[in-house]
Structure 1
Amino acid sequence: MKRSTRLIHLGRPPRTGHGPRTVNHPVVRASTVLFDSTAQMADARRRRDTERLFTYGVRGTPTAFALEDVIADLEGGFGAKLYPSGQAAVAGAMLAFLKPGDHVLVTDSVYQPVRRLFARHLEARGIQVDYYRPDGSDILDLIRPETRLIHAESPGSFTMEMQDIRALADIAHDAGALLSVDNTWASGWAFQPLAHGADLSILAATKYVCGHSDVMMGTVTTTEAHYQTLHDSWLTLGTVVSADDCALALRGVRTLPIRFDAHGRHAMAVANHLAARPEIAAVLYPPREGDAGHALFTRDFTAAAGLMTVAFQADIPRARVEAMVDALELFGIGASWGGFESLALICDLSNRRADADIRPGIHLRLHIGLEDPDDLIADLDAAMLALGG
C-alpha cells in the first residue's frame, strides 16, 4: 500500500467478528484495569515488560497503542513512544540514552527550549554538552571518547539549515554514539531519519501530526535495537498522554498527506513572492531553488512543509518589523506552527554561538497555513507598508 493509504487504515479498531465497528478508534480512558482473576492479573504482569498489554493506565491504553502503531509506521521505525509535548519527547530521549559522564553534541541551530534543557538540567547533572556548526564542519574536532549521542535538527529552528543525516549517522556510529534527529519540520511524512541511519526520530506531534493547534504531544520513534531501552525509560518516568489527546492525534494524522502538500504549495508561492521584494534580504526555505540547503533537501526529502524564515534588510530596525507584524490581518502572532492557520513570529537568534553564520538583520519566522496564498500575499504586502516609517 501507499503510505497515505496506510495512514488511513492503521491504528483502527480491530475486527472482532461480532458485528460492526467504528471508523475511528474508541477513546479508552483508564487508570485502573480490572482482571477476571488473580491468576489472569499475575499472568499479565509477568508478560507486560516484553509485550504491549493493557494492564494499567500509565502503561498506555488501546487508544495510545493505536497511535503508537501509526507513528511508528509514519516514521519507518520499529516502535514509538508518546510524550505530553515535543520538549518532553526530547527530554525523554536524552534521559533514556545519556548518563552522568557522557558527552553529547548538539546542532547550534537547535530549538531554544532544547538548549535550555541541556544547560539547566543535563549539564547540571554531569552530562557534557558541546554545540557543532549546523553544516557539520567542526563536528569531528568536537567528538570525544565519551561522546554518546549527536542531536541534529533538519532544517534547523529559525535559520533553516539542512543537515546531512546520513553523514552524521556515519560519524556518530564510527564514534560509538547514537544519532537523534528532531524531525518535526518533515513530521515523518517528508523525511524518515531512521531510513538514513539515525537511531531516534523525534516529533513535536503538536505541529503537523495533530494539525489543528489544540493538542500538545511529542513522539520518539526508534529501531528494534534501541526500543526496549526507550520503552523502559519512558515507563520509569511515568510519561502518560491522555486517551483524548491520542484520539485527536489519530484524527489529525489521517489528513497529514493532503494538509502537508497544501502547506508546501502555499509556502512556495509566498516564498517566491517575498524573495522578490526589496525589503527582504533572504528567504530561508530549503525547498526553494537557490536556498543553501536546497541540494540536500532535493536529495532526501519528498515534500515541503509550510515553515520558513525571512531575513529583512539590515537597515530595517526591529520596531518597523514589529509594526509590520502588528499590521497583519491573516497571520496570528504566536508560538508553535503546523496548524491550519498562518502565524508570524520575530526570531530571537541571540543564543546562537556561530553568529558569523547568521545574516544580519531582523528575522521573521512565517508559518504558511491553509488560507489561499493570494490572500496571504496581499496581507503581507499591505502590512509591509509599515516598514516605510
Structure 2
Amino acid sequence: MSAPENTPQTSLVHSAYRAPDGFEAFPVGIHHASTVVFPDVATMRSRDWREKLGYTYGLHGTPTSFVLEARLAEIEGGNYCRVTPSGLAAIVMINFALLKSGDDVLLPDNVYGPSKDLSRWLQRDFNINARFYDPMIGAGIAELITPDTRLIWTEAPGSVSMEVPDIPAICAAAHARGVRVAIDNTWAAGLAFKAFDHGVDIVMQALTKYQSGGSDVLMGAVIVRDKALNEQLELAHARLGFGVGMDDVYLVLRSLSSMRLRFDAHDAAAREVAQWLKARPEIASVLHPAFEDCPGHAFWKRDFTGAGGLFSVIFQPHFDERQTDRFVDSLRLFKIGYSWGGAHSLCVPYRMAGMRDGWQRQGQLVRFNIGLESPQDLIRDIEAALMAMQAD
C-alpha cells in the first residue's frame, strides 16, 4: 500500500528531496541546528553528548563547530577543545569547572580586567578565595600555594602592562603541589607560544582576536590535552549553556587559513612602529616583549617565536592625562576601542593606578594595536598626534 500523498502545507515542512552525496569544497559547510534528528530511538538513547562521535542537540555542536574545535586543538597542540560565546565565557567555564566553595585560586595582578572582576565576584558570592600575585614571581609562587589552592591563572604577556612571566617555573611549582595551571594565550594566538609544551594544563583564547581577524565575532575556546580534565570542562560547558552560532563559527573557520600571515604582518608592523616610538622624546618607555627593557623579555626570547601587534607605551611623566587623552583623540588612522587582532589599528589610554595594586611607574600608559595599515602611515599619524598633544 503506497503512502498517502501529503497536502501542500505538509509538503512545505516535509520534503522528500535529499541532496546527492559526494559534494566537496574548500569551505566547511554551515550546519545550523537546535534540534538534531535521530534515525531511531535506540540511537537517541545511546548517544552521549560528551563524546564527539555523534550529535545530540545544537547546544553541544554541529559538524561546523566540531571542525573548528578540532583545528584549534591542532594549532595549540591539544587533544580536546570547546568553543564558547566569548573569551570571558571561556574563563568563566574554566573557573566553574574546577573551583567550588572553599577553594583558592591565584591570578596575576596584571590579569585581563574582566577576569579580575569575575574572581572578586567568585570570592564575594561563592566563597572562593581569589588572590593576586606579582606576574614576575616565577618559582616564588610556590610560597603562595596552600592546601586549598586548586588553580593558578597565568597570562603571557599581561594584556596592558605587557610583562612576560616565567611560565615553566610557575607550572613546575604548581604541579609539585598538584595544582593546575591555566593560561590566557590570546596574545600569542597559539602560534607564537606553545603553552602545553611549557607545562600549562589548560589553554583559553579569545577567538575574537587573530582567529577572527575581522573585528566582527565574539568567541572563545578552551583547549586541553588530558581526557579526565576535558570531561570536567565539558560538564561545565553544558551546565552553563554555552552555545555558539554556526555563522560565527564559519567566520572564524574562514579566517584561520590566513591567520599566520596576518599575525606575522601585525608583528612586523608593530615592531617597526614601536621602535620608532622608542626614539621619541615624549615616550619614557615602550612595553613590547620583543624589546630588551620590557619586563620578562628574557622569558619571551626563550619561550616565544613571535609577538603579534599589541604593545603599550608610557609617556614622560610631565605629560598629564589631559594631554595624552588629546593625543589619542588626535589620531586619525588609529581608532579608540578595545580588543585587537583586526585589520584596523586601535589605541586606548589606561588609568593604571586603578587597575594595578602598587603600580610604580610614572607617566600615562597608552596601549596600541597595530593593524594591517602601512606602518609608515601609522607613524605619520602618531607623529601628528604627538604634535597636537603639545599644542597649548
TM-score (normalised: structure 2): 0.91
Cα distance in structure 2, aligned partners of 1:29 and 1:183: 29
> Compared with structure 1, are the counterparts of its residues 103 and 65 closer, same or farther at alpha carbon in structure 2 (3 Å cutoff)?
same
1:114-164 C-alpha deviation (Å, 9 max, x unpaired): 111011234420110110001016523322111111001010021000011
Cα distance in structure 2, aligned partners of 1:285 and 1:99: 37
Q: Which residue of 1 aligns with 2:306?
A: 303
Q: Which residue of 2 aligns with 1:97?
A: 98
Partner of 1:331, secondary structure, is coil
1:88-114 C-alpha deviation (Å, 9 max, x unpaired): 110111111111111011000001111
Cα distance in structure 2, aligned partners of 1:52 and 1:128: 38
Cα distance in structure 1, aligned partners of 2:195 and 2:141: 19
Moved more, 370-379 or 288-297: 288-297
Paired AA for residue 27 in structure 2:
N
1:156-177 C-alpha deviation (Å, 9 max, x unpaired): 0210000111111111111211
Q: Which residue of 2 aligns with 1:81?
A: 82
Which aligned pairs between 1:48-67 and structure 2 lie closer than 5 A? 48-67=49-68
Cα distance in structure 2, aligned partners of 1:387 and 1:157: 25
Paired AA for residue 262 in structure 2:
R
Partner of 1:345, secondary structure, is strand
Q: Which residue of 2 aligns with 1:313?
A: 316
1:166-201 C-alpha deviation (Å, 9 max, x unpaired): 111111111211000000000101112111111101
Quote the offset at 1:386 in angstroms. 2.0
Q: Which residue of 2 aligns with 1:69?
A: 70
Work out whether residues 123 and 129 of structure 1, in 8 Å CA contact, stay in contact via their aligned partners in 2. Answer: no
Cα distance in structure 2, aligned partners of 1:326 and 1:351: 22
Cα distance in structure 2, aligned partners of 1:48 and 1:87: 23
1:287-346 C-alpha deviation (Å, 9 max, x unpaired): 123323221111111111100000000110111111111111100111111111100000
Cα distance in structure 1, aligned partners of 2:70 and 2:271: 32
Q: Is the aligned partner of 1:119 residue 2:120?
A: yes
Q: Which residue of 2 aligns with 1:369?
A: 371
Cα distance in structure 2, aligned partners of 1:48 and 1:345: 42
Cα distance in structure 1, aligned partners of 2:81 and 2:341: 21
1:45-100 C-alpha deviation (Å, 9 max, x unpaired): xx443344212101111111000001111111111111101111101111111111
Partner of 1:131, secondary structure, is strand
Partner of 1:77, secondary structure, is coil
Cα distance in structure 1, aligned partners of 2:226 and 2:308: 29
Which aligned pairs between 1:265-280 and structure 2 lie closer than 5 A? 265-280=268-283
Q: Is the aligned partner of 1:238 residue 2:241?
A: yes
Q: Which residue of 2 aligns with 1:13?
A: none
Q: Which residue of 1 aligns with 2:153?
A: 151
Q: CA RMSD in A?
A: 1.5
> Compared with structure 1, are the counterparts of its residues 27 and 172 closer, same or farther at alpha carbon in structure 2 (3 Å cutoff)?
same
Q: Which residue of 2 aligns with 1:164?
A: 166
Moved more, 133-142 or 100-109: 133-142
Work out whether residues 133 and 354 of structure 1, in 8 Å CA contact, stay in contact via their aligned partners in 2. Answer: no
**Structure number with bigger Rg:** 2
> Compared with structure 1, are the counterparts of its residues 53 and 19 closer, same or farther at alpha carbon in structure 2 (3 Å cutoff)?
closer
Where does structure 2 lack aligned partners over 5 or more consecutive residues?
1-19
Q: Is the aligned partner of 1:252 residue 2:242?
A: no
1:9-36 C-alpha deviation (Å, 9 max, x unpaired): xxxxxxxx94341211111110111122
Which aligned pairs between 1:158-197 and structure 2 lie closer than 5 A? 158-197=160-199
Partner of 2:28, secondary structure, is coil
> Compared with structure 1, are the counterparts of its residues 91 and 22 closer, same or farther at alpha carbon in structure 2 (3 Å cutoff)?
same
Where does structure 1 lack aligned partners over 5 or more consecutive residues?
1-16
Quote the offset at 1:227 in angstroms. 1.1
Cα distance in structure 2, aligned partners of 1:173 and 1:319: 47
TM-score (normalised: structure 1): 0.92
Quote the offset at 1:353 in angstroms. 4.5
Q: Which residue of 1 aligns with 2:14?
A: none
Cα distance in structure 2, aligned partners of 1:216 and 1:293: 30
Partner of 1:94, secondary structure, is helix
Q: Is the aligned partner of 1:133 residue 2:153?
A: no
Work out whether residues 166 and 296 of structure 2, in 8 Å CA contact, stay in contact via their aligned partners in 1. Answer: no
Cα distance in structure 2, aligned partners of 1:48 and 1:124: 31
Q: Which residue of 2 aligns with 1:344?
A: 347
Paired AA for residue 232 in structure 2:
T
Paired AA for residue 143 in structure 1:
I
Paired AA for residue 372 in structure 1:
S
Partner of 1:364, secondary structure, is strand
Cα distance in structure 2, aligned partners of 1:126 and 1:53: 38
Partner of 1:156, secondary structure, is coil
Aligned-residue sequence identity (percent) comes to 42
> Compared with structure 1, are the counterparts of its residues 33 and 320 closer, same or farther at alpha carbon in structure 2 (3 Å cutoff)?
same
Q: Which residue of 1 aligns with 2:384?
A: 382
Work out whether residues 130 and 142 of structure 1, in 8 Å CA contact, stay in contact via their aligned partners in 2. Answer: no
Cα distance in structure 2, aligned partners of 1:236 and 1:353: 33
Residues matched between the structures, number: 370
Work out whether residues 306 and 369 of structure 1, in 8 Å CA contact, stay in contact via their aligned partners in 2. Answer: yes
Paired AA for residue 160 in structure 1:
M
Q: Which residue of 2 aligns with 1:27?
A: 30
Partner of 1:295, secondary structure, is helix
Cα distance in structure 2, aligned partners of 1:102 and 1:49: 26
